[in-house]
Amino acid sequence: MPTSLFPTTSAPPSRRRAAPSPADPAINDKALAVHARLSPVYACPIPYFHSLDPLSELVSSLLSHRTRNAESGRAFKALRARFPDWEAVIDAAVPEIQAAIAGVTWPELKAPRIREVLLAVRERCGSLDLAFLGAMDVAAARAWLEAIPGIGPKTSAAVLSFSTLRMPALPVDSHHHRVAQRLGLIGARIDVGPSHAILRAQLPADWSAQDLYDNHEILMLHGQQVCHHRRPACGRCVLVDLCPSAAAGAREP
Ligand code: SF4
């Protein structure tokens, strides 16, 4: 499966090959308990933050890698303002694209990557339109996207979930991944890529697109607002009794 071609701080190859754990009913129950506990805290159902067509969502997702939402959002708007359509981005010189997206991390890598991905889409389906993915099941649509170099599980899930396709796919970003690891939903050696399949399998197969979107959003928001990277605020975390990583003393009244 192709992986991101951007620089990464992820685990070395021996760690990235870690296989998904076998299904464990207790872990599935915990995943559901976490969802039930966090849903009222973050006011589910959460409104979708984008209404982009799937190809635009793909470009937006490529821009967002290791970049704050506000900066990738500005870069996306700048790209749309500078070029009339995605065909024009394919026809453009890479430095022109790079100039438009200068605010994101690694614009010198993302500019050629975006152009190459757009070219690959046009070559593989004959047009710059990914609406046909909506007629496929999620696994097939993800496989179609991930066959393009530079598109990994996070991007494919984001395209299917966040775009106007509104398909039941579960994206996992770095916050979501960190909280899931601390809660013991995934092992410490499971990288973001393989965590997608494991975390999705812990949730009911018949969950709707909104259910899975909410699951991603609440774990991401919890990582941003409570389970911080450096100093998790365990003392005010509603998951403290479920969490093997809770800081010493956080469980005390
Ligand atoms: S108890 Fe602490 S480590 Fe566990 S999820 Fe909450 S904030 Fe994160």
Per residue in 52-103, pLDDT tens?
Answer: 999 999 999 999 988 888 999 999 999 999 999 999 999 999 999 999 999 9
Compute, in angstroms, the gap from residue 178 CA to the centroid of ligand 1. Answer: 10
Residue 117 inside a domain? The answer is yes
The rounded Å distance from CA 89 to ligand 1 centre is 43
Nearest to 62 by CA among 137, 116, 20: 116
Domain shared by 80 and 157, yes or no: yes
Is residue 154 located within the same domain as residue 218? no
Domain final residue, candidates 162, 192, 220: 162
Distance 29 CA to ligand 1 centre (A): 18
189 C-alpha to center of ligand 1: Å? 18
| Shortest-distance atom of ligand 1 to CA 232 | 7
| Nearest ligand 1 atom, CA 223 | 8
- Both 154 and 181 in one domain: the answer is no
Tell me: do 135 and 185 sit in the same domain.
no
Per the domain annotation, does 5 fall within a domain?
no
CA of 74 to the centre of ligand 1 (A): 32
Q: Tell me which of 34, 181, 182 to substitute to probe ligand 1's pocket, judged by most ligand atoms within 8 Å of the beta carbon.
A: 182
Give every CB contact of residue 3 below 8 A, 6+ residues apart in sequence.
Answer: 152, 193
Count of domains for the chain: 2
Q: Are 223 and 178 in contact (CB under 8 A)?
A: yes
- Tell me which of 35, 225, 240, 251 to substitute to probe ligand 1's pocket, judged by most ligand atoms within 8 Å of the beta carbon: 240
Closest ligand 1 atom to 250 CA: 1
Confirm whether 8 is domain-assigned: no
Q: How far is the CA of 21 from the centre of ligand 1 (A)?
A: 22
For residues 231 and 138, membership in a common domain is answered with no
Q: What is the pTM of this model?
A: 0.88
What's 41's domain CATH number? 1.10.1670.10
Ligand 1-lining residues (CB < 6 angstroms): 179, 182-183, 226-227, 232-234, 237, 239-240, 243, 245-246, 250
Domain CATH for 107: 1.10.340.30
Ligand 1 mean position, distance from CA 248 (Å):
11
Task: Give the residue numbers spanning the domain of 176.
Answer: 18-46+170-242
Instruction: Give dist(CA 96, CA 162) in Å, integer.
Output: 27
For residues 218 and 46, the answer to whether their CB atoms sit within 8 Å is yes
Whether residue 156 is found in the same domain as residue 63: yes
In the predicted model, what is the mean pLDDT of residues 4-27? 51
Nearest-Å Rg of the Cα atoms of the chain is 19
pLDDT for 69: 86
Q: Is residue 247 part of a domain?
A: no
Domain check: are 190 and 102 in the same one?
no
Reference 158, options 45, 86, 76, 64; nearest CA is 64
Instruction: Flag whether 212 is in a domain.
Output: yes
Task: Tell which of 119, 144, 162 closes a domain.
Answer: 162
Instruction: Tell me the per-residue pLDDT of 142-198, one tens digit each, with 9 for 90 and over.
Output: 999 999 999 999 999 999 999 999 999 999 999 999 999 999 999 999 999 999 999
118 plus 199 within the same structural domain: no
Higher pLDDT, 212 or 14: 212
